[in-house]
Each structure stands twice: as C-alpha cells, then as structure tokens.
Amino acid sequence: MSRISPVIHSSFDFVQTGYRFDVLHHHLTLSVLQDDYKCWRRAFFVIFADFVHAFPRAWRDLLLVEARHTAGIRDGAFALLASVMKCDFWRIALSGESVATVADGVPEGSKYGPPCFNFLPNTLVRRMREARCGLATSAWVPKAWASHTWSGSGSPDLRKAQSIADDIASGRQLPRVADLARNSDLEATCARALDLLDNDRIPVLLHADDPLILASSRGEALRTLGVIAAWAWDVKVSLHLGPSKTVVQQWRPGLQQSETVIHPLLFPQHAPLLPAPLEGVQVHKWLGLKWAVCGEWMSHVTPLLAQCSATVDMLCTLLTSQRIPLAFAVLVFDQKVESVLRFGRWLWGLDEAAQSALRLAYERWSRKLTGASKWRNAAVCFSELGWTFGTQARVVLEVALVRATLWQQGDETLAGLTFTRGLTSKAANWPVRSLALLREHHILDWPEWVLSGKAGGSYKSFVKGELLAAAKRTWDESVSSHTSPIPYSQLTSGPCSHLQEALSNYAPWETLLGQRALIMIRCGYVALGHVNQRQTAARIQACVLCGRRYSNVTAHVVCSCERLAELREVCLRLGADFSSLKILAIPPSHPAYSEVVRLAIEILRNAQNFWKTAYVPKSVRTIRKADMLSQCHCSITNTHLALTLDVFNGSEQTRSRTHQNAVPLPSQRMGACGWEHALQQDSAV
C-alpha cells in the first residue's frame, strides 16, 4: 500500500482532503468563502452532511473498479489489492459452529482502508461535476449588480443561467438590479450564471466521510440534494438525516444569529420513504469548529474556554490540596488546555472578540495557578509559570506557520488556490487579515523570509526568535507595576524557568510541592503584615509571626524573624544569603534551594493560620450596636441576651464569662474572635 497510496491520492479530486491533508485546508476554504460572499453581499447555502456507517457499508467491488479506472492501478498491483479486498470469512464457534461471509465494508484502521475508502466519495464528486453543481470560488459580481443585496431564496432556470453567463463573458446587457430584487427566481438564475463562469467551482468539501455541500440558492441546493440522493441509491449509501447530523445553514449578508435561518429543505428519498426535511441551524460543529451563520466565532470560543476553565479549576484544587506540584500542573496545562486551544486558533484567533476573551482567560488562569489575587499583574504570573509568549504571540506564531504551509503548496491544493486568490480580494478575509497581523508584529512572511537571505534555519525558529526578542523588549514595562515586596525586575531579567529547572534537576517531591509557596512569598501574594489584625497598605505593619512592627515586614519575616531562625540557619550553612529579599529568587541549582523552599512553606503556613483566626469580615466590623442587639434578641436565649447587654455596658467580668460559658448558636457563624473584636471596637468608640 505504501507504493500505490501516492498514486491513489493523486487521482482524487482536489476537494477531498481525507487522509491526505489537515482539516485546516477546508477550514480556510470555507472561511474565505464566507468572508468574500459577505463582502459582495451575496448569499449561499451550506449543507453539513454525514454518512451512515460509511466504512462498514463501503462497496468493495465499486472501490476496485474505481482503483482500476480512476487511479490506473493494474497488473500485479491491482491483483494484490483485489486479493486484499476479497471476501472475509469469519468462523464463529458459539453453541455450535458457523461461518459469516463479509463482502462489503473496509476496516477504518487498516492499511488499505483509509486510502481506498476515498474512492467512494470521489464518485460523488464526479457525479456532481457531471451535473454542473457547485459554488463559485469567487463572490465577484458584475458592476451592473454591485448595489444588489442577494437573498438566495429563488430557484434558477438552468438554460437561462447559461445564456446570462455568456452575456457576462461577452459584456452584453444584463438584467437590472430592480428586476433581481422583484424576482427571486431571476436572482437565483443570475447567481447560477456566476457559478457557471468559474471552472474551479466547489460542489462539495470532503474530509473522509464528512461532506459539506455548497449551493448559491435555495433551488440549486434542492437540485444538488437530488443528485446526491440518486448517487446514494446507486452506491448503497445513506445519510444521517437527524437534527444533529445533516443540517443546513443559509449564509446571507446582514444575517444575525438570533434570526430564523431558512425554511426547511427536503432531501428526496425513494419510495416508500417520504422526503425528509433538513433542519436549519444557526451554529453547527464541522471538522472540530463551530460555524455560525453570522460569521462570528464566540459561539465556538465561549464553550471552549469554559471547558478549559473547568480543567484549570481542577488543577488548582489539586495544587491547593498539595496533591501535585505546580511544575506538574503547568505540564498538564500544556497537554490538556493549550493543546485544545491550539486547534483552529490560527483561524478564530484573528477575531477581536475571541482575542479579548482568550487574553482574559489566560490572565485569569495564570493568577489561579500561582495563587494570585484577581487584581495582580498577569505578566508576573506568566513569568513565574515560564510562559514566554502571551496570547497574541501564540496566535501570531500559528498564523505564520499556516501561511508558510499554504505558500509552499501553491495552486496544487484547493486551500493553496483559495489562499493565493484571497490575497487579491477586496474582502477582509483570512489571507488579508493574517498578513496585516504579521506586519503589525514585524514578522516577515514566508516568501519575504526566503528572499531575505535569513533562511539558514527553519521558518518556525525564525518566527519564534522574532517573537521572543519582541517579548524581551516589552517585558520590563509589563512587570514594572509590580514593586512590592520587591521590584520584580530585580528578581529576574525575563520569564522565570525555575519550575522547569527543578524538574530537570530531579528536585525532591517536597521541594516541587513547595515551589508554589515560594512563588507566593516572592511575589507578595500572601499578606505577612497587619494593623489591628487587618490587611492594610500601611507603611508600618506588625509581623504575623512575632507581632512586632516593621516598615518592611516581608523583609523582616524572610530575613530576620526569630520564629524562623532554625530554618534560616540551615539555609545559611548551605551558602544562602539573607541580606536582601533576592534570596527568594534563588535558582534551583543552588544547594540551599530546597531549604529556602522549606522556609517559604513554613512562612505560608503560619500566615494562613494567622488570617484564618484573625481576619474579621468588613460587614462585621462596621455593624452598629443597635443592629447587633436586634440580631442577638432574635437569635439567642434570654441568658445570652442578658450577658451580651452586660458586655455593652462595659463589664469586663461578664465579658469573660460570656466567652467562657456561652455557646454560639448556629446563627452565630462569625466565630468568637470576630464577635469579640467587633465588640471591643464599639466599646472603645
């Protein structure tokens, strides 16, 4: 099969990409068609179809005939292929013995199944081309029709369409725009004439057993469905006609996603079956991407980001419970989140709304993974996770690589032909917008890179190097707002790689688990000082460990607090320098790294324990005495009420008895220390 597979693939129509090219080929073609037709204010129909058990029902004799006549396989190669595809006999020994003969179907996971299966849909393409079906690859219209907005709701006259096509080619007079607006059938006939002018028109986009049928009007879509129904009857193929399998969309200018799409199309079937209506949908998933009638991408991006957010939340739960280290979480993120987002991002990543949603999602995920608050600098979180590229740079890299692939294919594939033609279109399609994105980031396009003399390495390495240089130039500015407890630019000169270095150095499991604590202390994500047991931005604060007041409480806790003297002494013996907070940026290769991580773990544990018992919600601190009396009167017994009144009268003895003997009721979930602190503040007033 390795010898005849290239011959088989070269014999297929260029609208087929199954088992030959990536799905990005048809993604690009459909996206460019949508943008071009929207620009020229033209409408067309898209029918997403699906075969029923395509591989198990494939007719082997038909595949052999196609291999002989279409691919030109003959002699010994054809005889060998025929012997491989001969009938299978399955011996079944169950309550006796029987033999089952299998003459149809090809195994989907075999050597000959995927290449030979494409012979079956190739017969559909040939049948549709013989019937002159298909949509023009360009949405161009003559100047006489430039002001018309097409609806695509009529049925074309095929003979008259050929006549109008001849008139367009020879420059003769054409029907007026007013006539097109009044007569939908005449409009459909003119749209069909534009299709006939294009010899490269696209009847269907095929990727294995997932066809997408294109038509310029409703009547032409019905005629195309009739051709498909006749072919399906001849080759023993059926289509899934359910609401989630074979559906139809009408893409027309000005259509909003909330509008009704179309009236149902009917798929003809042989008697005794009645014609089956095809459901019109606004959004449908095809080849991994959700396509909307209005051309926006948020219907695809929103659920995708929600799925990824659920994965990140699960990782954060494991991090908080000390089940996995942060370095492992970053690896899982790359495998389970980044890989999911990478699919199709070169296409939907150019949408402005999708770009904004993606950027906000990455910033939110980076803060969650590092334990930062929502208002923290996201660039610092990116740096701590070792992410060298932001969301925009990731999109630029993928766009540049896809453009390089399409440039190298040229006109040999449908996607390459669509790409080169799209560059000269007046529509804001993907080829045009992607080139503008490369220009914005000062990235050479693939042909420019080849001619520039910089083609010593790979184009991918070149683009990565340019993006990395641009990221370095803006890194200082992006982290400049992070100045507490120490300016972040003094800790590192670029994205931090400590997580990856610790893994490569085979650091102990306890050290890997503590890296997140070290990051939280280094970046100031944990409050180590307080004023009257409240978090504050005051210059002088009390240490959460020893209670003494200092102007730089973080430096005191890390470098000199007596409660951590023993752990600090171990670090000093291994060569650690506690003269400044730069000790928090100690590299994993340093002998004292593990001990510094242990110190950070202890600091984080003590700080969290302090805030669990000392923090009082603002709603409790600001409650008035009258409100507290009212709440106490409604929720506690008379004994508790009397004791509480004594507290308000200033009785220290009763206050002590209250906290020793009184048992809080379920409604008093604030905690004893919270109540005591609030009462003390009010008594002082």
171 lies in a domain? no
Q: Mean per-residue pLDDT for 57-69? A: 84
How many angstroms from the chain centroid is the CA of residue 31? 17
Question: Is a pLDDT exceeding 80 seen at residue 682?
Answer: no
Question: Is a pLDDT exceeding 80 seen at residue 454?
Answer: no
Q: Mean per-residue pLDDT for 479-493? A: 88
Is residue 58 within 8 A of residue 120, CB to CB? The reply is yes
Residue type, 476: D
Residue with tokens 């600090």: 568
Q: What is the pLDDT of residues 237-250, one digit of tens each?
A: 888 888 788 999 99
Q: Are residues 464 and 390 in the same domain?
A: yes
87 lies in a domain? yes
- d(Cα 308, Cα 315) in Å, to the nearest integer? 11
Burial class (CB in 10 A: 0-12, 13-18, 19+), 493: exposed
3-state SS assignment for residue 48:
strand
Q: What is the pLDDT of residues 9-51, one digit of tens each?
A: 888 888 998 788 899 999 999 999 999 999 999 999 999 998 8
Residue that finishes a domain, picked among 560, 581, 614: 614
Q: Are residues 245 and 351 in the same domain?
A: no
Output b/e per residue, 70-92; b: 16+ Cβ within 10 A: bbebeeebbeebeeebeeeeeee
Q: What is the value of pTM for the model shown?
A: 0.84
59 lies in a domain? yes
Residue that finishes a domain, picked among 614, 637, 668: 614
Residue with tokens 């931005």: 537
Residue that finishes a domain, picked among 614, 634, 652: 614
DSSP letter for 412, please. Answer: G
The confidence score (pLDDT) of residue 640 equals 40
Within 147-217, residue ranges assigned H as helices are 158-170, 177-182, 184-196
595 lies in a domain? yes
Is residue 397 within 8 A of residue 404, CB to CB? The reply is no
The confidence score (pLDDT) of residue 98 equals 87
Residue 276's alpha-carbon distances to 54, 204, 240, 241, 452, in angstroms, are: 20, 20, 11, 7, 58
The proportion of the chain whose per-residue pLDDT surpasses 70, expressed as a percent, equals 88
Burial class (CB in 10 A: 0-12, 13-18, 19+), 257: middle
Q: Mean per-residue pLDDT for 491-507? A: 91
Residue type, 464: K
Is residue 78 within 8 A of residue 72, CB to CB? The reply is no
563 Cβ neighbours under 8 A, 6+ residues apart: 545, 546, 606
210 lies in a domain? yes
Residue 401 is inside which H or E element, if any? Answer: helix 391-409
131 lies in a domain? yes
Q: Are residues 361 and 471 in the same domain?
A: yes
The confidence score (pLDDT) of residue 352 equals 94
Q: Mean per-residue pLDDT for 198-207? A: 93
Output b/e per residue, 662-683; b: 16+ Cβ within 10 A: beeeeebebeeebbebbbeeee
- d(Cα 169, Cα 166) in Å, to the nearest integer? 5
Is residue 680 within 8 A of residue 622, CB to CB? The reply is no
Residue with tokens 């004023």: 531
The DSSP annotation for 530-568 comes to EBTTB----SSEEETTT--EESSHHHHHHHT-GGGHHHH
Q: Are residues 314 and 258 in the same domain?
A: no
The confidence score (pLDDT) of residue 476 equals 87
| Domain carrying residue 594 | 526-614
Q: Are residues 30 and 68 in the same domain?
A: yes
Residue 315's alpha-carbon distances to 310, 350, 525, in angstroms, are: 9, 29, 19
Q: What is the pLDDT of residues 279-325, one digit of tens each?
A: 999 999 999 999 999 889 999 999 999 999 999 999 999 999 999 99
- d(Cα 57, Cα 53) in Å, to the nearest integer? 6
Is residue 515 within 8 A of residue 496, CB to CB? The reply is no
Strand partners, 206: 16, 211
Give the strand pairing for 247-251 and 276-280.
parallel
Instruction: Work out the pLDDT band at 483, boundaries 50, 70, 90.
Output: confident
Question: Is a pLDDT exceeding 60 seen at residue 673?
Answer: no
The confidence score (pLDDT) of residue 617 equals 52
3-state SS assignment for residue 300:
helix
Residue 366's alpha-carbon distances to 109, 249, 375, in angstroms, are: 40, 38, 12
- d(Cα 238, Cα 240) in Å, to the nearest integer? 7
Side-chain half-sphere of 284: how many Cα atoms within 13 Å? 23
The confidence score (pLDDT) of residue 181 equals 93
18 lies in a domain? yes
Tally of structural domains, the chain: 3
Question: Is a pLDDT exceeding 70 seen at residue 203?
Answer: yes
- d(Cα 237, Cα 206) in Å, to the nearest integer? 15
Q: Are residues 339 and 442 in the same domain?
A: yes
Is residue 51 within 8 A of residue 228, CB to CB? The reply is no
Q: What is the pLDDT of residues 327-363, one digit of tens each?
A: 999 999 999 999 999 999 999 999 999 999 999 999 9
Q: Are residues 355 and 458 in the same domain?
A: yes
Q: Are residues 361 and 446 in the same domain?
A: yes
47 lies in a domain? yes
Question: Is a pLDDT exceeding 50 seen at residue 651?
Answer: no
Q: What are phi and psi of 581, to 5 degrees?
A: -75, -5
Q: What is the pLDDT of residues 607-633, one digit of tens each?
A: 999 998 875 554 444 443 444 444 444
Q: Are residues 422 and 545 in the same domain?
A: no
Q: Are residues 575 and 432 in the same domain?
A: no
Question: Is a pLDDT exceeding 70 seen at residue 684?
Answer: no
Q: Are residues 594 and 448 in the same domain?
A: no
Question: Is a pLDDT exceeding 90 seen at residue 544?
Answer: yes
Q: Among residues 26, 24, 37, which one has the least CA distance to residue 427? A: 37
Lowest mean pLDDT of 139-148, 259-268, 641-650, name the range: 641-650
Q: Are residues 287 and 307 in the same domain?
A: no
